[in-house]
Structure 1
Amino acid sequence: MSRKRRRSSSRKKSMVLPVILIVAVIVIIAAGVFLFFRLRGTGENPSDILKNYFSYITSQDYEKMYNLVDAGDVSKDDFISRNQNIYEGIGCSDVKVEIKSEEKDSVSYSVTLTTLAGEISYDNTARFTTDSEKETVLVWDDSVIFPELTSTDKVRIYTDEAARGQILDRNNVVLAGTGTAYSVGLVPGEMNEDHSADVETLAELLGMTSDAIESELSQGWVTDDSFVPLTTISASDADLRRQLLEVSGVMLSTVEVRNYPYGEAAAHLIGYVSSVTAEDLEEHPDEGYSSDSVIGKSGLESLYEDELRGQSGYTIVIEDENGEQKSVLAYQEKTDGEDIRLTIDITLQQSLYEQFQEDEGCSVAMNPYTGEVLALVSTPSYDTNQFILGLTTDQWDTLNNDESQPLYNRFRQTFAPGSTLKPFTAAIGLAEGTIDPNQDYGSNGTSWQKDSSWGSYYVTTLQDYSPGTLENALIYSDNIFFAKAALNLGADKFTAGLDKFGFNQVVPFEIKMSQSQYDNDGSITEEIQLADSGYGQGQVLANPLHLAVMYTAFSNNGSMIQPYLIYKDNPSATVWIENAISQENTSILTEDLKSVVNNRAGSGYAAHRNDTELAGKTGTAELKSEQGTTGQEIGWFSVFTTDPNATKPVLLVSMVEHVEDKGGSTYVVEKDDAVLDEYLGS
Structure 2
Amino acid sequence: MKKYILMIGLLLLTFSLAACNRTPSPEERLDEYLELWNQQKFSSMYKNYVSPAVKEKVKEKDFSERYQTIYKDLEVKNLKVTSLAKEEKDWGEKKRAEIPIKVEMDTLAGPIKFEKNAVLKLKETEEGENWFIDWDTSYIFPDLDEGDKIRIETLKGTRGQIFDRNGNSLAVNGRGYMAGLIAGEIDENAEAKAKVAQLLQIKPEFIDEQLKQSWVQPGYFVPLKKLAYSEQDKVAKLEGLPGTTVEEISMREYPYKEATAHLTGYIGPINGEELKKLKDKGYSQHDQIGKRGLEQLLEDELKEKNGHRIYIEKAKAEPVTLAETPAQNGKDVKVAIDAELQKNVYEQLKGMPGTAAAVDPKTGEVLTLTSSPAFDPNEFVLGVSNERYKELENDPKKPLLNRFAATYSPGSTIKPLTAAIGLQTKTLDPKKERDIKGLQWQKDSSWGSYRVTRVKDIGQPVNLQEALMYSDNIYFAQTALEIGPEKMVDGMKAFGFAEKLPFDYPIRTSQISNSGNLNKELLLSDTGYGQGEVLTSMLHLASMYGAIVNDGTMMKPQLLAQAKPEEWKKELLTAEEAKMLQQDLRLVVQKGTAKLADVPGLALAGKTGTAELKTEQGTRGKENGLFVAYDQKNPAFMLALMVEGVEGQGGSKLAIEASRNVFLQAAQ
Distance in 1, Cα, partners of 2:642 & 2:255:
25
User: 1:386 maps to what in 2?
Assistant: 379
Letter in 2 for 1:155: I
Structure 1 residue 320 and structure 2 residue 314: aligned? yes
Q: Are the structure 2 counterparts of residues 582 and 247 from structure 1 closer, same or farther at C-alpha, using a change threshold of 3 Å? A: same
User: 2:277 maps to what in 1?
Assistant: 283
User: 2:214 maps to what in 1?
Assistant: 220
User: 2:15 maps to what in 1?
Assistant: none
Distance in 2, Cα, partners of 1:283 & 1:205:
38
Structure 1 residue 167 and structure 2 residue 159: aligned? no
**1:161 Cα deviation from its structure 2 partner:** 1.9
Structure 1 residue 184 and structure 2 residue 179: aligned? yes
User: 1:630 maps to what in 2?
Assistant: 620
**1:278 Cα deviation from its structure 2 partner:** 4.3
Structure 1 residue 565 and structure 2 residue 559: aligned? yes
Q: Are the structure 2 counterparts of residues 85 and 299 from structure 1 closer, same or farther at C-alpha, using a change threshold of 3 Å? A: farther
Residue by residue, what CA displacement relative to the aligned partner does 1:93-121 show, whole Å, maximum 9, x if unpaired?
A: 64253756799999987555443433333
Structure 1 residue 439 and structure 2 residue 432: aligned? yes
Contact 1:382 1:407 in 2 (8 A): yes
User: 1:200 maps to what in 2?
Assistant: 194
Distance in 2, Cα, partners of 1:97 & 1:425:
72
Structure 1 residue 363 and structure 2 residue 359: aligned? no
**1:479 Cα deviation from its structure 2 partner:** 1.4
Contact 1:372 1:563 in 2 (8 A): yes
Letter in 2 for 1:659: V
**1:322 Cα deviation from its structure 2 partner:** 4.7
**1:633 Cα deviation from its structure 2 partner:** 1.0
Q: Are the structure 2 counterparts of residues 113 and 455 from structure 1 closer, same or farther at C-alpha, using a change threshold of 3 Å? A: farther
Distance in 2, Cα, partners of 1:93 & 1:576:
51
SS for the counterpart of 1:185 is: strand
Contact 1:182 1:255 in 2 (8 A): yes
Distance in 2, Cα, partners of 1:665 & 1:137:
92
Distance in 2, Cα, partners of 1:114 & 1:456:
79
**1:516 Cα deviation from its structure 2 partner:** 0.6
Unmatched segments (≥5 aa) in structure 2: 1-30, 89-96
User: 1:585 maps to what in 2?
Assistant: 577
Say which is worse superposed, 366-375 or 104-113, in terms of deviation.
104-113
User: 2:543 maps to what in 1?
Assistant: 549
Contact 2:36 2:44 in 1 (8 A): no
Letter in 2 for 1:554: I
User: Highest CA radius of gyration, 1 or 2?
Assistant: 2
Distance in 2, Cα, partners of 1:119 & 1:428:
65
Q: Are the structure 2 counterparts of residues 124 and 444 from structure 1 closer, same or farther at C-alpha, using a change threshold of 3 Å? A: farther
Letter in 1 for 2:589: V
Percent identical residues: 40
User: 1:86 maps to what in 2?
Assistant: 70
Letter in 1 for 2:651: G
SS for the counterpart of 2:39 is: helix
1:117 to 82, 90, 109: 109
Q: Are the structure 2 counterparts of residues 212 and 476 from structure 1 closer, same or farther at C-alpha, using a change threshold of 3 Å? A: same
User: 2:330 maps to what in 1?
Assistant: 337
Q: How many residues align?
A: 617
2:80 to 86, 97, 108: 97
Distance in 2, Cα, partners of 1:405 & 1:151:
64
Letter in 1 for 2:601: D
User: 1:657 maps to what in 2?
Assistant: 644
SS for the counterpart of 1:436 is: coil
Letter in 2 for 1:52: Q
Q: Are the structure 2 counterparts of residues 239 and 484 from structure 1 closer, same or farther at C-alpha, using a change threshold of 3 Å? A: same
Distance in 2, Cα, partners of 1:323 & 1:377:
59
**1:467 Cα deviation from its structure 2 partner:** 2.9
Contact 1:371 1:564 in 2 (8 A): yes
Distance in 2, Cα, partners of 1:166 & 1:88:
34
SS for the counterpart of 2:527 is: helix
Letter in 1 for 2:413: T
SS for the counterpart of 2:438 is: coil
Letter in 2 for 1:95: N
1:459 to 438, 448, 452: 452
Residue by residue, what CA displacement relative to the aligned partner does 1:457-491 show, whole Å, maximum 9, x if unpaired?
A: 22112111233111111111111111122222221
Structure 1 residue 376 and structure 2 residue 369: aligned? yes
Contact 1:49 1:137 in 2 (8 A): no
State TM-score, norm by structure 2: 0.84
Residue by residue, what CA displacement relative to the aligned partner does 1:331-365 show, whole Å, maximum 9, x if unpaired?
A: 23333333222222221111111111411111111
Distance in 2, Cα, partners of 1:107 & 1:385:
62
User: 2:92 maps to what in 1?
Assistant: none
**1:138 Cα deviation from its structure 2 partner:** 10
**1:567 Cα deviation from its structure 2 partner:** 1.8
Distance in 2, Cα, partners of 1:409 & 1:106:
71
SS for the counterpart of 1:595 is: helix
Contact 2:413 2:530 in 1 (8 A): yes
User: 1:667 maps to what in 2?
Assistant: 654
User: 2:17 maps to what in 1?
Assistant: none
State TM-score, norm by structure 1: 0.82
Distance in 2, Cα, partners of 1:651 & 1:514:
20
Distance in 2, Cα, partners of 1:563 & 1:151:
65
Q: Are the structure 2 counterparts of residues 141 and 299 from structure 1 closer, same or farther at C-alpha, using a change threshold of 3 Å? A: farther
SS for the counterpart of 1:504 is: coil
Q: Are the structure 2 counterparts of residues 48 and 496 from structure 1 closer, same or farther at C-alpha, using a change threshold of 3 Å? A: farther
Contact 2:46 2:63 in 1 (8 A): no
Distance in 2, Cα, partners of 1:589 & 1:206:
58
Letter in 2 for 1:653: A
Say which is worse superposed, 484-493 or 247-256, in terms of deviation.
247-256
**1:519 Cα deviation from its structure 2 partner:** 1.7
Distance in 2, Cα, partners of 1:346 & 1:474:
33
**1:151 Cα deviation from its structure 2 partner:** 5.3
Say which is worse superposed, 452-461 or 105-114, in terms of deviation.
105-114
Contact 2:33 2:45 in 1 (8 A): no
User: 1:156 maps to what in 2?
Assistant: 151
Distance in 2, Cα, partners of 1:535 & 1:211:
60
Distance in 2, Cα, partners of 1:440 & 1:300:
49
Structure-to-structure mapping, 1:224-373, within 5 angstroms: 224-285=218-279, 287-322=281-316, 324-325=318-319, 327-373=320-366
Contact 1:207 1:392 in 2 (8 A): no
Structure 1 residue 401 and structure 2 residue 391: aligned? no
Say which is worse superposed, 411-420 or 163-172, in terms of deviation.
163-172
Distance in 1, Cα, partners of 2:151 & 2:313:
7
Structure 1 residue 610 and structure 2 residue 610: aligned? no
**1:168 Cα deviation from its structure 2 partner:** 1.6
Q: Are the structure 2 counterparts of residues 224 and 515 from structure 1 closer, same or farther at C-alpha, using a change threshold of 3 Å? A: same
Contact 1:95 1:111 in 2 (8 A): no
Letter in 2 for 1:510: D
Distance in 1, Cα, partners of 2:146 & 2:558:
59
SS for the counterpart of 1:400 is: helix
